[in-house]
Amino acid sequence: MNNFPGISDLIFALIRKYAFILIVLILVIIFGDLFFKIFASIFLLGILLIISVPIFIALKVRRMTRQMEEQFRQAAGGFNYRAQSQQSHSSQGEGNVKVHVGSAQQKKVSSDVGDYVEFEEVDSDKK
């Protein structure tokens, strides 16, 4: 009985120092099943998000890519590069080569732009 005031002072000092932890422990003891269910629900929701977000992003990127290709086709006047390349590959037999010769090269700069200076290369070794 003589040590009781010392023990009670120690308990009250611990309660004052670690009040938050003691409150949480008491709540866990009283509502333990509920806390476990909440924790398990949050954990499962996190796992579902980790799995579903990359899949959602991949689907969104694929959809946006298709939309951009469609817009490009419409801007190009309905030209479908994939269909055109498949037709050209299927129409050519293996080993057949076609050479397309373009027209003669024309002057790339119009005549009304700037001055044209002709020059002649001089060999400096001749004296």
Write down the pLDDT at residue 59: 94
Measured CA to CA in angstroms, residue 41 lies from 44, 47, 95, 118 at distances of: 5, 10, 64, 82
Low-confidence ranges of the chain (pLDDT < 50): none
Q: Which pair of structure tokens corresponds to residue 127?
A: 């004296």
Q: Measured between alpha carbons, how far is 97 from 95 in angstroms, rounded to an integer?
A: 6
Write down the pLDDT at residue 80: 59
| Per-residue pLDDT tens digits for 112-125 | 777 767 778 887 77
Write down the pLDDT at residue 68: 93
Q: Measured between alpha carbons, how far is 52 from 123 in angstroms, rounded to an integer?
A: 73
Write down the pLDDT at residue 108: 63
Domain ranges of the chain: 48-89
Residue that has been written with the tokens 């790339």 in this structure: 108
Helix (H) and strand (E) counts in the chain: 4, 0
Write down the pLDDT at residue 57: 94
Burial class (CB in 10 A: 0-12, 13-18, 19+), 73: middle
